[in-house]
Each structure stands twice: as C-alpha cells, then as structure tokens.
Amino acid sequence: MKFAVLLLLDLMLIFPAQAQTSEDDAFPRLIDSLCLDLIEDRRGCETAVLVVSDEYEDTADLFVLSHDLSDDLSDGRAIEPQDIVLVVHEVAYSGEHLGQSAGLARSPSGALLIQEEQTAVGRTPWIQLLTVIHRDDRLLVERQTYSTYDRAIGGGLSCDMNFLTGDWLVNADRVVPETGVVIYDVSDSGQIAGTRLALADWSVDRGLPAPCEAALDAWFAAAPR
C-alpha cells in the first residue's frame, strides 16, 4: 500500500492538473508500474510507469522516474520527489480488453521490458516485446521481438531484431491443417547496419524492422489455400 501511495504522489507531479483530484480520478489511468535498477549512476531503483494516453485511449504513455546519485543510503522515493528522466507518449498499444493490455517486466539481465499484445481477437494474435537498456547516458531500444500464429490452421512466426548489432533471427512454419504436413519451414538469420535507437524516438506506429516485415509477408503468402 505504501508503494501505491508513493506512486500516486509521483503521478500527481507528472500530471499537475490531477493534483487536486481524488485517487479515484488518478489511479484508473495506471496500466502498470515497475521498480528496477536501470540507470547505474542513480540512487535506488528507477520507476517505470505505463498510463493510458490522454489523446488515444488504445495506446500507453511511458514515464521513467529516478533519483540522482547521493551519499544518502535511504530509498529516496520515501522522502523526496523523483526526477522525470523520460516521457514517451504512445509507446505501446494497449486496448481495453483482456489480451490487449500493455505491461512492464524486468529481464534476467536487468533491462526494462515493454510488452504489448493483441491476443484477444482475430485470426493472427501477436505479442511484441521491446528490450530497453541504458547506454551512453540514454535509454535505448536494444531489441524488438515479435511473434504471431494462425489460430485457424496452425503455424507461427517469430522474429527478433537487435538494433545495436543489426543481427536478426526469424523462425516460421506453416502446416496443412487436415494432414499436419509441414509445407513451409524457415529458420533464417542475418545482419543489417546497427543503430542506437533512442527510446524517446519510439512510437506505437513504428512497425516492424525490414527483415521481420519481409518474413511476415512471406509467412502470410505461404498459407495453404
């Protein structure tokens, strides 16, 4: 409960207009939050917060809050406001139904994971994961991982893109539903020019990297008629 109250205070700093409203007005915007040690030279953990976007209710905005490094060994969240390190509007898709909500997680290596999904409806549900790291005094999107499958006839696709190195990996298959015979089976990898993609420049409308987009088009085209 203490963390929830502290988080509410931080959100009131982010949204000054909401500071005079009740908890019932502020909390419904919260989608997910996470405390993790993302920036090494800052004290304590960084707080990542996903909230419903004001402009588009099917997208989420990301706020990253933190404290400057200090000799004080206390957890600064309990005694003073956090700095707003970064705000990214419309960073992820987040619908209103189960299977459509965005979320946050911590990777085994300590990176921030931003997950979005559309598994609620449709023939080809999908899940996408962004891996965010801190490097060169910036928050960067290190990886974009996308997966989908065909509910009607089976088969699926996954694509992983490492933006820093340019390495990509695709696995995809298609089967004949009546017989289970595999008619399309691809495991491919390659490398394009690497880039340092700032999280601040990310948008829900960005789409897939070229190797993943090409693989997805080929997977759809390989569906048995």
**188-224: pLDDT as tens digits:** 999 999 999 999 999 999 999 999 999 999 999 999 8
Q: Are both 90 and 127 inside the same structural domain?
A: no
Assess if residue 108 is contained within a domain. Answer: no
- pTM for this one? 0.83
Shared domain check, 131 and 71: no
Q: What pLDDT, on the 0 to 100 scale, is given for residue 73?
A: 58
Q: Is residue 100 part of a domain?
A: no
**Same domain? 2 vs 59:** yes
Quick check: 16 pLDDT over 80?
Answer: no
Provide φ and ψ at 56, rounded to 5°.
Answer: -125, 110
> Mean pLDDT, to the nearest integer, of 51-72?
83
Does the residue 116 lie in any domain?
no
* 72 vs 89, higher pLDDT: 89
Share of the chain above pLDDT 70, in %: 82
Do 126 and 165 belong to one domain? yes
89 & 3 share domain = yes
How many residues are present in the chain?
A: 225
Characterise 78 by phi-psi region: left (phi > 0), alpha (psi -120 to 50), beta (else). Answer: alpha
Residue 155 lies in a domain: yes
Closest to 45 in 3D by CA, of 116, 125, 112, 118: 112
Count of Cβ atoms closer than 10 Å to residue 74 Cβ: 11
Q: Would you say residue 78 has pLDDT above 80?
A: no
Q: How many domains does the chain have?
A: 2
| The pLDDT value given to residue 83 | 83
Residues 154 and 219 placed together within one structural domain of the fold = yes
198, 139 contact by CB (below 8 A): yes
Based on the fold, state whether residues 84 and 134 are members of the same structural domain.
no
Which two structure tokens, joined as six digits, stand for 64? 């990253």
The alpha carbon of 96 is separated from its chain's Cα centroid by a whole number of angstroms, namely 17
Q: Looking at 95, 130, 165, which one is the last position of a domain?
A: 95
With cut-offs at 50, 70 and 90, classify the pLDDT of residue 96.
Answer: confident
Q: Does one domain contain both 9 and 85?
A: yes
Decide which of 79, 95, 111 is a domain's last residue: 95
Whether residue 127 sits in one domain with residue 219: yes
Does 157 share its domain with 224? Answer: yes
Please check whether residue 115 lies inside any domain of the structure.
no
CB atoms within 10 A of CB 117: 20
**Same domain for 142 and 57:** no
Residue 110 lies in a domain: no
Residue 32 pLDDT > 70: yes
Answer yes or no: is pLDDT of 183 > 50: yes
- Determine the Cα–Cα distance for residues 79 and 96; give it in Å rounded to an integer: 35
Q: Do 46 and 135 fall within a single domain?
A: no
Q: Is the distance from CB of 148 to CB of 131 less than 8 angstroms? A: no
Is 117 within a domain?
no
Domain with 165 in it: 122-225
